[in-house]
Copies of this chain bind each other. A is one copy, B any other.
Amino acid sequence: MSVINDLLDRLSTKKIAMYNKDFLLTWEKTSDEIEATFLVARILQEMRKANISPRIWHSGIAVSNFRDNSTRTRFSFSSACDLLGLYVQDLDEGKSQIAHGETVRETAVMISFLTEAIGIRDDMYLGEGDRYQREVAQALDEAVQDSILPSRPTIVNLQSDIDHPTQSMADILHLAEHFGGLDKLKGKKIAMTWAYSPSYGKPLSVPQGIIGLATRFGMEVHLAHPEGYDLIPDVIELAKKQAAASGGKFVHSHSMEEAFKDADIVYPKSWAPYDVMLKRVPLLHAGDQAGLKELEKQCLANNAKFIDWECTEEKMKLTKGGKALYMHCLPADITDVSCKAGEVAASVFDRYRNDTYREAGFKPYIIAAMILLGKRKDPVKTLKTLIERNHKREIE
């Protein structure tokens, strides 16, 4: 209990204004809000350990809206919602349907009459995923203003074309726990690098999410990728500014080796070239299968030029003491395991497998924290009420 009390004390010092707001991009949140999210996640984790139920709702609905496949995020979202007492109802639009305008507005309201939280994944269309989430958000705002909805469901971005905050927040919380505190990240070097994969079209949201968040903690963030594998320019600009403001550093190169050199942490991960992502959007919209096939062919041929962008034992030796912490959002493309040539050598992945699992384990708590903070005006009070209530999460 002293752990929980300590975390609560720290939480009560944070100045936050997250109530009735969504969690779409980490850089829309203040540092206090980011830290509050970490603290609430940790408190919920400790409450579960202490067998104190953090169930806020006796009944209530959460909506999951996956516009792209998902296993681990789906389970993280379900687990988070269930932990707080919400029943998850999936909104299945059919994979191909890209609804906009009137339909989005109407559907947003129709699914929200008794709804507390909405998790949305929409990451396939550059320029659209984040826009869709904001369209839903605006419809909800208006419906609350017009007294159509009794309260404002909070939206959690479960991956958009721009950011993947439930992933990046779990990643940073993992680092904080690994290195002994958020403040210990100051000065640490993290290499966020592209890596070769035989697959194609992976979203940019993970690398963007990492450079958009890690640069806020005084870290040296080194982004490296082959030419042509750029990220959204605005996010690069943001990363630069944030690094400067936090006393950190943002380096952008085309060398995996440079990025790995003396790194404390490496995050080698494949993504699609920015240009290809741009070209894909009209093809996807037009349902142009031939065009998409041709684009994929070109892209894979291009990818193949960078097959040496693999996180090998040799490259790991370049890192600080040869012992950088390897990270991945999973599933990784592991050479000779899940594919012939991939993002990471099997022996490297093996050594860090448990670390990547631990990394993933923070996600349900991060999501639960985002929901709690979006739905509760005074989260410290709510958590104290739950602790005093002391319902057992499970009967022994």
Where the two chains meet, the residues of A that have a C-beta atom closer than 8 Å to any C-beta of B are 48-49, 53-61, 63, 71-72, 74-76, 78-79, 82-85, 87-89, 91, 101-103, 106-107, 109-111, 113-116, 143, 146, 148-150, 330-331, 334, 337-338, 354, 357-358, 360-361, 363-364, 376, 378, 381-382, 385-386, 389, 391-396
Are B382 and A389 in contact, CB atoms less than 8 angstroms apart?
no
- In the complex, the 9 A-B pairs of residues with the closest C-beta atoms, listed nearest first: A79-B114, A53-B58, A72-B110, A78-B89, A82-B87, A148-B357, A75-B111, A56-B395, A113-B361
**Which residues of chain B have C-beta atoms less than 8 A from A392's C-beta?**
58
Of A82, A358, A364, A392, chain B has the most CB atoms within 10 Å of the CB of: A82
- Bound-complex Cα distance A76 to B357 (A): 31
Are B75 and A148 in contact, CB atoms less than 8 angstroms apart?
no
- Residue from the list B102, B357, B382 in contact with A395, Cβ < 8 A: B382
**Which residues of chain B have C-beta atoms less than 8 A from A60's C-beta?**
82, 393-394
- Bound-complex Cα distance A382 to B396 (A): 6
Are B330 and A394 in contact, CB atoms less than 8 angstroms apart?
no
- Bound-complex Cα distance A358 to B110 (A): 10
Smallest Cβ-Cβ distance to A81: which chain B residue: B87
- Bound-complex Cα distance A392 to B382 (A): 13
Are A107 and B71 in contact, CB atoms less than 8 angstroms apart?
yes
Are A83 and B59 in contact, CB atoms less than 8 angstroms apart?
yes
16 A-B residue pairings within 8 Å (CB atoms): A48-B114, A49-B150, A56-B394, A60-B394, A61-B75, A71-B111, A75-B110, A75-B113, A78-B89, A87-B88, A114-B364, A146-B357, A148-B361, A149-B361, A378-B396, A386-B395
Are A393 and B148 in contact, CB atoms less than 8 angstroms apart?
no
- Bound-complex Cα distance A85 to B210 (A): 37
**Which residues of chain B have C-beta atoms less than 8 A from A363's C-beta?**
113
- Residue from the list B49, B87, B357, B385 in contact with A396, Cβ < 8 A: B385
- Bound-complex Cα distance A72 to B114 (A): 12
Are B106 and A82 in contact, CB atoms less than 8 angstroms apart?
no
Are A103 and B338 in contact, CB atoms less than 8 angstroms apart?
yes
- Bound-complex Cα distance A103 to B334 (A): 11
Are A61 and B79 in contact, CB atoms less than 8 angstroms apart?
yes
- Bound-complex Cα distance A149 to B101 (A): 43
Smallest Cβ-Cβ distance to A57: which chain B residue: B394
Q: A58-B53, A392-B58 are in contact. Are A89 and B75 (CB under 8 A)?
A: yes
Are A354 and B148 in contact, CB atoms less than 8 angstroms apart?
yes
Smallest Cβ-Cβ distance to A93: which chain B residue: B71
